[in-house]
Structures are given as structure tokens and as C-alpha cells.
């Protein structure tokens, strides 16, 4: 189908406004738009019409601001009712997708104890709050902490056929972990093939509901599990968690190098325990400063966010109510939400994906923003 010049111009205006809006977080503003006008004459005449925007990323907390900006900057939209739907694409991977799972995002750290699991569970909740369907898989076979952080360490997945299992559902998040299946001491002695076999079973024998993102909490390091996961599971991308000090960023660097070698895009670095903020508002940097930024610059990736060393993060994670879920209004929660939006925008706009029809592909290089103008009267 060929669009009229007039229509294309209008679409480009909307598309540029949306892309510009989501570039506020320093993300690429190069999203192209695809438009299906149900009632083109009305739209072109500037008459009132409902418009539906379909975004390839989940950014629920920003939608009111987006609509306001569109109405203010584009007079043709001033009177329109604007609906936004999320339509997260499936990332193209070398391997076939896991049934029902659109994107698999590994959360990895070089060094242990830097807060990778706390970041994974809070990221899962934050993506959900931004409108995504989310699952979490605890791939830390040797030291699973996701069951504790989700508050159900004694739960077991159900199975109807003794072959496949249903994930645990915690506040709408689908979860599975070796910690739900055996006691953690038994898992701690597993090595090599036994651990990788267990991981593959956890991934492929869980009946995941439809998920936009499956967050995989990896064990620390760059060992067997990482190689298995990278080579045998359709990973979309990885997020690296580190603390700022050199001893941690040096290990994080090895992790980034591993993903680069395996051609798995690294979305960026989350710097955890970045600073300490005292009640008076003053910040101090007990683990030094600037380590993640330097690492990010070396690898031309972004720092997705910096989280404080915070009693609230520890207490809520270790008591099974991650802070994003427990304290919706806290400043720490807003940092996790911002990280989640960046992850989602990056997956939706920078990775190769295949949700487009042939016609859409012909008219668009990138599917981050998919604008559908529809007549809903
Ligand atoms: N920003 C933070 N401020 C304070 N405590 C934190 C923070 N992030 C994580 N923690 C706490 O630090 C401890 C270790 O965190 P976590 O288990 O997430 O680390 P990890 O990197 O996954 O560890 P492992 O190497 O064992 O997998 C936990 O008690 C957690 O609640």
C-alpha cells in the first residue's frame, strides 16, 4: 500500500514527536512509524478522530506526559482521543524462541554479591509496573535467591504430567527456580553438565504464560551456565550489574567481553550500591565513583541507572517484598522504573525483531514506534 505524501508527513510528525519524547533518557530517537488510517480524509482535514499508538516497548508511567506533549506540539491532535497500546516485538535470535516468551534478558555480574538478584527481581516488578508481562527464571543454580526475594521460598511448582511444570505466580510475575525444586545445599554441589542440564530443564520444561520479557538471574562469573545459556537459549540481550569499585568492574568487564564474543547485545550497566545518601541529603561514595561510567564508555554502552546503597533495598528484597513492589512512591522505585523503561525501549528499538508484516517491513527500518490511527467513533 502506498501512502499519500500528506499522510506520510503527518505520520512522521507524530513519530518524531514520540521518538523525541523517549529520547529524554538518552536513547535513540530513530523509531519509524507505520500508520493505517481508517478514515484518512477526516484525519487530513484535521477533524476529530481517535488515534491509537502502538508502542514496541512498555512505558506506562510516561503515557499521560506523552499524550500531553503530542497534543501540545501537534495541533491536529489537540482534540483527538489518544490511546496507546503496547506490542512488544519478539527479538530475533539464532535459536527458536521459547514457547510464549518474546524476549529473554539475562541479568549478569562478574563478581558475586553485587546485588544481581535484587536487581533482577526489582527489574521484573518494574517492567510489570510499566505494563509488561514478565517472568523471572533463577539460573543461579548454585545459590538461588529469587524464591526468598519473591517471598515464597517453600513453594513448589505444580505439574500435571510429571514432565512439565507450571511456574509459581507471584503478583502476576511467573517465576521458576531450582530453589523451588530442591534444597539449596543439594544444588550447591552440582557441577558442569548436571547444572546446565537442570538449567535447560527449568527453562524449557516450565509452561510459561505469554511473556514480553523473561528475566534470567544468572550466577556470578563467566562459567558453564553462562556458556550454556548463551549458546543454547535464545537470549535477546544482557544487563550487567556491578558495584563501582575496581575489583567489581574488572569482573563486570569480563562478563561484557563474554557477551560481546557470543554476539549477545549488552543493553547497559546497572551500577548498584553506587552511593549512600544520608538523611540530610548528602551523598557519599563508599565504593568509589565513576567505575561503571568508565567501563560503559570503553564498551560504548550505557549506564542504565545508579542505585544507592540502601537499607530499604536490602530489607525488602531479603524479606520477600522487593522495594518496587513494597514502596511504589519511593525515589529508589523510580530509579528502577527508569531502568526498566530503558531496557524495554532498547529491546523494542535497537534489537532486530520480527513482529512486522511484510508491508510494514517495507516501509520501516525500525519498529520501535508503530502508530495506528484508527477511527473508533
Ligand atoms: N543497593 C543495595 N543496598 C543495600 N543492600 C543491597 C543492595 N542491593 C542488594 N543488596 C543486598 O545485598 C545482598 C546480596 O544481594 P544479591 O543476592 O542480590 O546479590 P547477588 O549479586 O545476586 O549475589 P550472588 O553472587 O550470591 O548471586 C542481599 O542481602 C541484598 O538484599
Give pLDDT tens digits for 30-84: 444 333 334 445 555 555 567 778 888 899 999 999 999 988 988 878 877 888 8
Calpha distance 164→167 (Å, rounded)? 10
Calculate Rg over the CA atoms of the chain: 22
State what percent of residues in the chain have pLDDT above 70.
Answer: 82
CA distance 374 to 291: 48
pLDDT computed for residue 147 by the predictor: 96
Name the residue with the closest Cα to ligand 1, atom 15.
Answer: 115
Chain centroid offset of residue 78 CA: 32
Cα(67) to centroid(ligand 1), Å? 38
Q: Smallest Cα–Cα separation from 248: which of 216, 275, 266, 273?
A: 273
195-204, 297-306, 342-351, 359-368: range with highest mean pLDDT: 297-306
Q: How many CB atoms lie within 10 A of CB 184?
A: 18
Q: pLDDT confidence of 87, banded at 50, 70, 90?
A: confident
pTM (predicted TM-score) = 0.88
Q: Which atom of ligand 1 is nearest to the CA of 314?
A: 31
> Higher model confidence: residue 36 or residue 229?
229
> What is the distance between the alpha carbons of residues 298 and 7, in angstroms, rounded to a whole number?
43
Give binding residues for ATP as ranges: 110-117
- Quote the cell numbers at residue 163: 514432565
- Residues 6+ positions from 344 with CB-CB distance below 8 Å: 57, 58, 59, 88, 127, 130, 132, 213
Of 51 and 374, the one with more pLDDT? 51
Any residues with CB less than 8 A from the CB of 257 and at least 6 apart, and which? Answer: none
Least confident of 64-73, 123-132, 150-159, 365-374: 365-374
Query: Which tens digit of pLDDT belongs to each residue from 236-282?
Result: 999 999 999 988 898 999 999 999 988 899 999 999 999 999 888 89
Most trustworthy range by pLDDT among 203-212, 347-356, 357-366: 203-212
pLDDT in tens, 244-257: 998 889 899 999 99
Q: 139: Cβ below 6 Å to ligand 1?
A: no
pLDDT of residue 23: 75
Q: What is the pLDDT of residue 1?
A: 36
Q: What percent of the chain has pLDDT over 90?
A: 47
140 lines ligand 1 (CB under 6 A): yes
Is the distance from the beta carbon of residue 317 to the nearest atom of ligand 1 less than 6 Å?
Answer: yes
H/E/C letters for each residue in 320-368? CCCHHHHCCCCHHHHHHHHHHHHHHHHHHHHCCECCCCHHHHHHCCCCC
pLDDT digits (tens, 9 = 90+) for 118-129: 999 999 999 999
* Top mutation candidate among 106, 117, 241, 247 for ligand 1, by most atoms within 8 Å of CB: 117
Closest CA to 109 of 139, 74, 76: 139
Closest ligand 1 atom to the C-alpha of 311?
4
DSSP H helical ranges for 190-329: 192-204, 224-232, 246-261, 291-299, 311-318, 323-326
Q: Cell for 176?
A: 521458576
> What does the alpha-carbon distance between residue 66 and residue 14 come to, in Å, rounded to a whole number?
11
91 CB less than 6 Å from ligand 1?
Answer: no
Residue nearest atom 31 in ligand 1 by C-alpha distance: 314
- Domains of the chain as residue ranges with CATH: 5-87+355-372 (no CATH), 101-350 (3.40.50.300)
Report whether 283 contacts 257 (CB < 8 A): no
Average the pLDDT over 322-336 and give the result: 97
Q: Is the CB of 252 under 6 A from ligand 1?
A: no
- Is any atom of ligand 1 closer than 6 Å to the C-beta of 318? yes
Instruction: Report the chain's mean pLDDT, rounded to a whole number.
Output: 83
Atom of ligand 1 lying closest to residue 114 CA = 21
Amino acid at each position: 500500500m502506498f501512502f499519500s505524501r500528506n499522510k506520510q508527513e503527518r505520520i512522521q510528525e507524530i513519530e518524531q514527536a514520540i521518538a523525541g519524547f523517549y529520547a529524554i533518557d538518552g536513547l535513540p530517537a530513530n523509531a519509524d512509524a507505520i500508520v493505517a488510517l481508517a478514515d484518512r480524509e477526516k484525519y487530513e482535514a484535521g477533524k476529530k478522530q481517535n488515534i491509537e499508538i502502538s508502542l514496541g516497548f512498555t512505558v506506562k508511567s510516561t503515557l499521560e506526559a506523552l499524550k500531553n506533549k503530542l497534543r501540545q506540539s501537534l495541533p491536529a491532535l489537540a482534540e483527538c482521543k489518544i490511546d496507546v497500546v503496547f506490542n512488544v516485538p519478539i527479538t530475533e535470535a539464532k535459536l527458536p524462541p521459547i514457547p510464549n516468551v518474546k524476549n529473554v534478558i539475562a541479568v549478569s555480574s562478574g563478581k558475586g554479591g553485587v546485588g544481581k538478584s535484587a536487581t533482577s527481581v526489582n527489574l521484573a516488578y518494574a517492567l510489570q509496573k510499566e505494563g509488561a508481562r514478565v517472568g523471572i527464571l533463577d539460573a543461579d543454580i548454585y545459590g538461588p535467591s529469587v524464591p526468598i526475594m519473591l517471598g515464597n521460598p517453600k513453594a513448589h511448582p505444580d505439574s500435571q504430567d510429571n514432565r512439565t511444570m507450571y511456574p509459581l505466580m507471584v503478583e502476576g510475575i511467573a517465576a521458576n527456580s531450582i530453589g523451588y525444586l530442591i534444597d539449596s545445599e543439594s544444588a550447591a554441589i552440582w557441577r558442569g553438565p548436571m547444572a546446565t542440564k537442570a538449567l535447560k530443564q527449568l527453562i524449557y520444561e516450565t509452561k510459561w504464560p505469554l511473556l514480553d520479557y523473561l528475566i534470567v538471574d544468572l550466577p556470578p562469573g563467566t562459567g558453564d551456565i553462562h556458556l550454556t545459556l548463551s549458546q543454547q537459549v535464545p537470549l535477546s540481550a544482557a544487563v550487567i550489574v556491578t558495584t563501582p569499585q575496581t575489583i567489581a568492574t574488572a569482573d563486570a568487564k569480563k562478563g561484557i567481553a563474554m557477551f560481546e564474543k557470543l554476539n549477545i547485545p549488552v543493553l547497559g550497566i546497572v551500577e548498584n550500591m553506587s552511593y549512600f545518601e544520608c538523611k540530610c541529603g548528602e551523598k557519599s561514595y563508599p565504593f568509589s565513583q565513576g567505575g561503571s561510567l568508565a567501563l560503559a564508555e570503553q564498551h560504548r554502552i550505557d549506564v542504565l541507572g545508579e542505585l544507592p546503597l540502601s537499607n530499604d533495598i536490602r530489607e525488602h528484597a531479603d524479606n520477600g517484598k522487593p522495594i518496587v513492589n513494597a514502596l511504589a512512591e519511593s525515589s529508589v522505585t523510580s530509579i528502577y522504573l527508569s531502568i526498566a523503561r530503558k531496557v524495554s525501549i532498547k529491546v523494542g528499538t535497537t534489537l532486530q525483531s520480527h513482529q512486522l508484516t511484510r508491508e510494514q517491513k517495507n516501509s520501516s527500518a525500525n519498529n520501535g514506534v508503530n502508530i495506528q490511527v484508527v477511527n473508533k467513533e
